Structure 1
């Protein structure tokens, strides 16, 4: 029944919106715009959100999703209903919607601050802030929204809040010193900064709106790049019990069972153009690798904003490659002896 509710809730919303669109395009609506405008307004503001809330009540779909459903309905109704019949919609958009937006922003900020405080209060090497943030977000928002939100918050956290030097534990391994990743990102940041200043100066007099839009987008890209760079320094690869936590900042990660590792190959040889071996990096062949992990079965790597990719061989860079290989083999030997 729960699965049926999960399937039926988005179907109900989609069919409802399609029905309203068809109604708004019909001759019946044209003949009686006032009456049907009131009906559509009541549907998007009351009926559809209420029925949707009932459908998701006993599922794990966050109740918060009723807000975007309502907002999408309001947008659709604004498109369907003639301007002269949008009095109630205008009142909603002018007075109610800003309150909802402020409530959402306040709630998100509260959860972020609470997560950061909790992260700093716990004294354990096994807790990673990005992992904790994803878990907290998923408890409140649907998966696509939670992953997007967690990534954007992590960019700000690692870029501007987390400045304390991170002490490396015996089970942790850095990967930025030999790969050249940090240097490449810094070069990328400098290029964007220089181009932003130059382009802004060129366009400011003739096309000021475009100049400011491009400048804001460039600043956002700089903020992201800074967050990415610092997350590389703060999120080492780690071996914890019988699992290997492969990380590339907040951009890529994969959690694998060490028993599934077939071989750890120390090599810096360039990958062939059509090689099936994937790389634990964001910039591909621009970054070097010095190890290739071969697995007995396919593993899954998660990239930015929840995108996934399967692999059986993974090229990585480890600053302490010999030590890393030795630790993996020790765990494998231990698991064999159990």
Structure 2
């Protein structure tokens, strides 16, 4: 089957359900629906929530389109139905939103975690290479969603996975190095959670005097920030720094990471935390600046990129980081790029 033929069939799988959605929207704006809206609304709701999503699933299930896309399509149907069906006739729709959306979110989360773990197992058995959960997750999400959406989904799933599910102790290999035991950086981040908690209570009390709704929105944002910090903190021991055959894989949990080929390294030095500078092109691996208490600096021949969990990559020519066994790390890295 040619690429053009596959594209055409995949396009049809989207066009037919979307055409039916447009038809339903048109129907709800007719005089017939206006006269009998109390009677017709439940049937239209069922079409939005069940009939069209099932049709979409039947159209894509044997195509190259992932079945996981049923979830965002169903949410799209719910959103359109919310703006289309009269508010006084949304009883069935409201009930569906109350129970269906959480089930969709949990189902998608479960499917992604299960599939990523399977993909990681298959990858590790077929190739003699260590790939951690987050790397496999990013790769898998990229095959399901557009680039920006894939990154967002991968980050949210990773925060939950590392924060509340992965309790297995990480055993370092000969080419792996921890970067948190002697720096105190995790204690600093843990203290930030306490600060967020105190701030949350204070802001909630003050803002509740003007608007209870605003108070709970701000409290929700604070709780979300605390959950993000927990996920980042617990991911750091799970994602060690790795010396590979052709490149360095430097990570600070899921917060940031970079891959540096050995031929891009000029030199590597051991430093004190007081040697931190704010020169242009200088970055710390954790992006936390002086809080990181770096003991290694890597000078580069050419600019490299530091990927961050949110936002655009940051370019650097000098990278500061902390490594627990920094002497051994320096020796092993030099053995590669000095060859």
TM-score (norm 2): 0.69
- SS of the residue aligned with 2:136? helix
Q: Residue 270 of structure 1 aligns with which residue? A: 277
Displacement of 1:262 in angstroms is 3.4
Q: Residue 112 of structure 1 aligns with which residue? A: 113
> Does the 8 Å contact 1:289/1:315 carry over to 2?
no
- SS of the residue aligned with 2:330? helix
Report the Cα distance in structure 2 between the residues aligned to 1:188 and 1:10, rounded to whole angstroms.
48
Superposition pairs for residues 208-219 of structure 1, below 5 Å? 209-219=213-223
Structure 1 residues 191-234: Cα deviation after superposition (integer angstroms, max 9, x where no partner) = 12223344455667886555444434323322221221222233
> Does the 8 Å contact 2:306/2:315 carry over to 1?
yes
Superposition pairs for residues 41-60 of structure 1, below 5 Å? 54=59, 58-59=63-64
Decide which moves more: 259-268 or 225-234: 259-268
Report the Cα distance in structure 2 between the residues aligned to 1:164 and 1:17, rounded to whole angstroms.
48
- SS of the residue aligned with 1:234? coil
Q: Residue 228 of structure 1 aligns with which residue? A: 232
Q: Number of aligned residue pairs: give it.
A: 323
Decide which moves more: 213-222 or 200-209: 200-209
Unaligned runs of 5+ in 2: none
Displacement of 1:239 in angstroms is 0.5
Structure 1 residues 228-274: Cα deviation after superposition (integer angstroms, max 9, x where no partner) = 122223322110222211101111112232233233355534022xx
> Does the 8 Å contact 1:252/1:281 carry over to 2?
yes
What do you get for the CA RMSD once the two structures are aligned? 4.8
Distance 1:75 1:227, change over 3 A: closer
Distance 1:165 1:269, change over 3 A: same
- SS of the residue aligned with 1:233? coil
Report the Cα distance in structure 2 between the residues aligned to 1:51 and 1:111, rounded to whole angstroms.
20
TM-score (norm 1): 0.69
Report the Cα distance in structure 1 between the residues aligned to 2:63 and 2:120, rounded to whole angstroms.
31
Structure 1 residues 256-303: Cα deviation after superposition (integer angstroms, max 9, x where no partner) = 32233233355534022xx13333223245434344434444534322
Distance 1:56 1:257, change over 3 A: farther
> Does the 8 Å contact 1:45/1:73 carry over to 2?
no
Q: Does 1:131 align with 2:131?
A: no
> Does the 8 Å contact 1:115/1:132 carry over to 2?
yes
Q: 1:65 aligns with which of 65, 69, 73?
A: 69
> Does the 8 Å contact 2:299/2:317 carry over to 1?
yes
> Does the 8 Å contact 1:246/1:254 carry over to 2?
yes
Displacement of 1:304 in angstroms is 1.1
Displacement of 1:18 in angstroms is 11
Q: Residue 326 of structure 1 aligns with which residue? A: 331
Q: 1:184 aligns with which of 179, 183, 188?
A: 188
Report the Cα distance in structure 1 between the residues aligned to 2:63 and 2:115, rounded to whole angstroms.
27
Q: Residue 321 of structure 2 aligns with which residue? A: 317
Distance 1:205 1:117, change over 3 A: farther
- SS of the residue aligned with 1:102? helix
Q: Residue 307 of structure 2 aligns with which residue? A: 302
> Does the 8 Å contact 2:265/2:300 carry over to 1?
yes
Q: Does 1:293 align with 2:298?
A: yes
Report the Cα distance in structure 2 between the residues aligned to 1:57 and 1:253, rounded to whole angstroms.
37
- SS of the residue aligned with 2:156? helix
Distance 1:290 1:68, change over 3 A: same
Q: Which has the higher contact order (CA 8 A, sep 6+)?
A: 1
Q: Residue 263 of structure 2 aligns with which residue? A: 259
Displacement of 1:183 in angstroms is 3.5
> Does the 8 Å contact 1:171/1:240 carry over to 2?
yes
